[in-house]
Structure 1
């Protein structure tokens, strides 16, 4: 198994090696049963009430295991679906947990900032969710454990017309379902 882990790590590093190095997006940590910390962005200091309510509703129906890291979001550069090296450790931790827990299931929700058409943002969100799924598969996560979906620009984490807000909305969230 150690050989597989090493091969998976090297493969994942190679897969992600072509990633952009200009990622400056901070991770927005999520606490165990509440997403209120995650829905209020560190950088911009503002969020929509509707976005917060929707995220809290989803979080209340999806309780993540307490053994996982608090970081459940992978952030992306503008107009990109490539996972940056900064998020490899998050993918690794979730991948190891999921591969060791075959009954655990996740929905990977891709998101985009408000720039671009609704159709384009839905497609970009889907690409981000699928890129995250592909990276998790490198850690041995079974396809039957994952579902990729896109919210496009419909579930912003931050409201605003600046890069701080946009950077919080370009993400894929790993959401665990309850058993």
Structure 2
């Protein structure tokens, strides 16, 4: 196949009629359309084009070969790419062409004819063209052109066969957690870390609030009023925290979820002077977090 094709196809067919070869039927074959798949239609065009180009060069043997292949497509018997053994190839080219045919067959057998009919047919036509030009081994530019055409089509075919990425389903909206419960305050008597029955009842309230509010942390902050020595009041606030902690433990609460701190006289609920009794400051504040 010469890329410039100086002689006309009409003259070539006139010569074909004199020789009596199959290519003489090419005009009728070209005018017909296969009744098969889109791949068959595209492959028919590939072989018709190859037959015309070889006939234009007066290469009757190869024009005849491609005409027979085009006719086979019309008859519903689309041929496979040429077998390596069908051509008398230079020995050093056999490995490359063998690998190329195997690559093409893998694509065709994996559904390439349906995935991309045009590129599947283009790859097969270009491969057969490459085989024919390589057997002649006379025109390096034509060999390279057929090989380039094959690579283009096989890459497009393989790309078309890649699994399509499925968009990930949008995550279902997650309802926001309920608001955290309000803090619960447990009060203590003067100079005492003992829970009264009324205040002890708040332990159950705190556990219920923790569960219903879907909290993950329960915080205990102990306090004291300003009456007495600050160091003593610090220890008193710690004792009050311990009392609440023990009450939670007695109820089976998960102790790993508890965080504790003791603040003594610091951060009073009611501001007072020093050494002043104040009921609202003698307390443990139970708060919730996530």
For Structure 1 versus Structure 2, the TM-score category normalised by the shorter chain is: 0.5 to 0.7
Note if 1:105 corresponds to 2:241: no
**Which protein has the bigger helix share?**
2
Contact 2:227 2:277 in 1 (8 A): no
Q: What displacement does 1:142 show?
A: 1.2
Task: Specify whether residues 148 and 67 from structure 1 end up closer, same or farther in structure 2 by C-alpha distance, changes over 3 A only.
Answer: closer
**Which protein has the bigger strand share?**
1
Contact 2:221 2:262 in 1 (8 A): yes
User: Which residue of the partner structure matches residue 261 of structure 2?
Assistant: 149
Greater relative CO (CA pairs within 8 A, separation 6+): 1
What does 1:8-157 align with in structure 2 at a 5 Å threshold?
66=179, 68=181, 70=182, 72-98=184-210, 104-157=216-269
Q: What displacement does 1:85 show?
A: 1.0
The 1-side partners of 2:239 and 2:263 are apart by: 11
Q: What displacement does 1:103 show?
A: 5.9
Q: What displacement does 1:176 show?
A: 1.4
SS in 1 for 2:226: coil
Task: Specify whether residues 88 and 72 from structure 1 end up closer, same or farther in structure 2 by C-alpha distance, changes over 3 A only.
Answer: same
Contact 1:111 1:150 in 2 (8 A): yes
User: Over aligned residues, Cα RMSD in angstroms?
Assistant: 2.8
Contact 1:99 1:141 in 2 (8 A): no
Q: What displacement does 1:97 show?
A: 4.2
The 2-side partners of 1:100 and 1:134 are apart by: 22
Tell me the TM-score normalized by structure 2.
Answer: 0.35
Contact 2:233 2:264 in 1 (8 A): yes
User: Which residue of the partner structure matches residue 278 of structure 2?
Assistant: 166
Q: Which entry has the higher C-alpha Rg, 1 or 2?
A: 2
Q: Give per-residue Cα distances to partners, 1:55-87, cap 9 Å, x unaligned.
A: xxxxxxxxxx6474x561000001100011111
Moved over 4 A (4+): 65-68, 99-103
